[in-house]
Amino acid sequence: MTAPLRLSNRYLWIGLICLVLLALLSFLAAPASNRLTSGSTWNRGPDGYSAWYDYMAQQGTPLQRWQRPVENLIEQLSESPAPAAPATLLQVHSGFIQPEAFYPLRPWLSDWAEAGHHVVILGQQEPATAAPFTTQQLSSAGPITIATRRRAAISDSRQALLADDYGAIAWQRPEGNGLVTLIVTPHLAANAYQADSGNFPFLAELVTQAGGPVWVDEYLHGYKEADVIAEEVGGSWTSYLAQTPLVVAFTQLVLVGLVALVAQNRRFGVKQPLKSLAIDNSEAYIQALAGALHKAGSHGFVTTTLSKAERLTLQKMLGLGEGPVPDAALQSAWSQATGEATQGLTSLTEPPTDLQRDPELAAWLQRLQTLHQSILKRKPAP
């Protein structure tokens, strides 16, 4: 009866532990994935740029998504047979990029600018100022909502495109034969601001300033062409494992180990089978009968039945057989065999039949047990 219950509880605990571990793993992995896709034109969340992508298509200036390294785009544009207007590359970072990492993250920038192309970068980290976190900035495109306290210092080398008393929010500077436009906030034209009248048109003016095609860097957000993935990974699972972050691999290993450990749930050694309990049918019957008699209040039936059984045992010991024997004959044989008074046989010869309470029955059973032990002690050995 208890084995199935234990088995059920065991699998229940295994399931709960697995759910907790999976929830923990999802919690650790989800933020990294969300940060990576923030700013992507495929992201329809508040921090995505899918609404602005559709807006540009409606304005007649569709964006072209680029899912390869920027070096490949430079090669593709340089191989064009006819000279075209300078292209514009838009990079929307998932967060703020520190100024010292600007050039190390863009080794291609000198070649891109030398060809006269334009690059617009959103998410340039600048110091926080005393400016309110959310402000309304006026521009030729209309009022723009800015949600950041960060501002850049205004200098002669920076042509401020959007600024207030605290500093520049968007500015432009020459780079080789091209231009570099930097914007502090990475969420300038995110989906959360599609209801604001100036945010989308302002970014549209910046990316169409050069007059050529506009490319959006989706490689920056982890979107890659199939051949690029095969080239970077190496086309084998060993290369994939070599590039997998150690934290993720270690977490997966720990998860599998814990599930296996809980599933086994045993100590070292051979598994011992459960022993089935032996059931004494006679004892079970006696206990069931005693319970029924107690519930019915049949005290008289109990005293009569037990006194008859003990009387028969005494008759056999005294050699009086198993047939009915008068009380006088039984008492006489008892006195001759033991030399004791016959008052001790009263519990057998005159059993009470009108007991109403359990304490009275318990007292009579105690006297009968004492007589029974005395009979067994005087029983002759076979």
CA-angle at 228, arms to 225 and 232, nearest 5°:
140
Each domain of the chain, given as residue ranges in start order, spans 38-224, 283-378
What pLDDT is recorded for position 253? 76
Instruction: State the pLDDT at residue 254.
Output: 76
pLDDT in tens, 316-359: 777 777 777 777 777 777 777 766 666 666 666 667 766 666 77
Q: Which of 181, 209, 185 is nearest to 199 (CA)?
A: 185
Is CATH 3.40.50 what the domain over 38-224 is classified as, yes or no?
Answer: yes
Q: Determine the average pLDDT of the residues in 68-74.
A: 93
Q: What is the structure's pLDDT at 295?
A: 73
Checking if the pLDDT of 381 tops 60, the result is: no
Average pLDDT over residues 81-88: 78
| C-alpha closest to that of 119 among 203, 178, 189, 205 | 178
- Separation between Cα atoms, residue 97 and residue 200, nearest integer Å: 22
Average pLDDT of the residues in 150-171: 92
Per-residue pLDDT for 97 more than 60? yes
Top pLDDT among 243 and 106 is at: 106
Residue 1 has pLDDT above 50, yes or no: no
For the stretch 244-280, pLDDT in tens is: 666 666 777 777 777 776 666 655 556 677 777 766 6
State the pTM of this model.
Answer: 0.57
